[in-house]
Amino acid sequence: MRLSGLQKDVLSLYRQCLRECRKKPEATRKHFQTFARDEFEKSIKLDKRDFSAIEFLLRKGRRQLEMYASPGVKDIRK
């Protein structure tokens, strides 16, 4: 199955999130992984042709990743 450019971007962002999770303390790593998975699952029903919504969520996700990737952020809770 071939993926569109946006689909590749979404998967790339998800992989980046999981890579950043590995840099967090062992005790809180699961919190970051769960948060990332939950954030992506919120939009799983989104129509793949809704480009503006997908692009918005990608920008939002990148901003969140940048914020949570900061070394000062040790834990994340809902």
State pLDDT tens for residues 10-19: 999 999 999 9
Write the DSSP assignment of 8-59 as a string of letters: HHHHHHHHHHHHHHTTS-TTTHHHHHHHHHHHHHTTTTS-TT-HHHHHHHHH
| pLDDT value, residue 78 | 58
Extract the tokens encoding 66: 């940048």
pTM: predicted TM-score of the whole model, two decimal places: 0.89
Instruction: Give the separation between CA 69 and CA 32, rounded to whole angstroms.
Output: 10
Q: Give me the residue label for tokens 């950043």.
A: 20
All residue ranges of the chain with pLDDT < 50 are none
- Find, among 78, 50, 60, 72, the residue nearest to 17 by Cα: 60
